Amino acid sequence: MTQISEVQVEVDSPDGTRRTILHELSLTLEEHVVAVVGANGSGKSTLLRLVAGLVAPSAGEIRFSPTVPRSGFIFANPQAQIIMPVVGEDIEFSLRGTIKGRAERTRRMREILESLELGHREEASVYELSSGERQKVALAGVLATEPELVIADEPTTLLDLRNAAEFRRRLLGLEVPLLLATHDLEFAAQADRVLVFDHGRLLDDDEPAAAIPRYRRLALQTPEGA
């Protein structure tokens, strides 16, 4: 369970002032899949980075129970997190934190690749992969770290319809909880809970069937005077 209490995030602006990018927020997250939606710049990634410990709150606190989870982060662009040039090597690299023996690392790497139907790509250069395969390699690298929470920031953005559907299915099938920011409302519709952000504020927090139609209306409404 993640408990966010009166958290606020501020950043320095170029003019020397402080800008609030996440306004005071209190939330308890305990559902298996939580989707965060909202316009560009509304604060979705900031919330994800806060939960992952990549950004510190300027005020308030985040508590986890029973302990701080080991989180695995998936980005929109998988190239950002693939370190080694060859698929199998990259997964083995991620396994170094959890498995000491080399033979055992190789065995586990193959198991993870097989589970993602990537067994035949073990020797492939990461640069010759399709976007769909590359995103699966990024997921394989995250799974290798045995995360207790997966945090995904627009993970289907670069994928075509078919690959997006497959990747959604894989993320939704994980045993560990998933916190997801997405513009893919089909994906958000499959969450247990949807948080809608707007200009750094939590605007709506409900089950998908209620929150998504409200968000669509909000996003598509014509600005006054337009």
Ligand X SMILES: Nc1ncnc2c1ncn2[C@@H]1O[C@H](COP(=O)(O)OP(=O)(O)OP(=O)(O)O)[C@@H](O)[C@H]1O
Which residues are at the interface with ligand X (CB under 6 A)? Answer: 11, 21, 38, 40-46, 181
- Give CA–CA dist 108/220, Å, rounded: 47
CB closer to ligand X, 2 vs 42: 42
CA–chain centroid gap for 67, Å, is 20
Environment class of 78 (CB within 10 Å of its CB; exposed 0-12, middle 13-18, buried 19+): buried
Concatenated DSSP letters of 66-131: SSPPPEEEE-SSGGGT--SSBHHHHHHHHHTTT---HHHHHHHHHHHHHHTT-GGGTTSBGGGS-H
Smallest separation, CB 196 to ligand X (Å):
11
Q: Of all residues in the chain, what percent are helix, strand and coil, respectively (each to 5)?
A: 35, 25, 35
CB closer to ligand X, 183 vs 214: 183
Smallest separation, CB 197 to ligand X (Å):
6
Residue 45 tokens read as: 């990634």
CB closer to ligand X, 21 vs 99: 21
Smallest separation, CB 19 to ligand X (Å):
7
CB closer to ligand X, 44 vs 136: 44
Environment class of 5 (CB within 10 Å of its CB; exposed 0-12, middle 13-18, buried 19+): middle
Smallest separation, CB 156 to ligand X (Å):
13
For 86-100, b/e burial (b = at least 16 CB within 10 A) is: bbbebbbbbbeeebe
CB closer to ligand X, 99 vs 197: 197
Smallest separation, CB 76 to ligand X (Å):
8
Give the strand order in the sheet containing 18-29: 18-29, 2-12, 59-64
Smallest separation, CB 152 to ligand X (Å):
12
CB closer to ligand X, 18 vs 102: 18
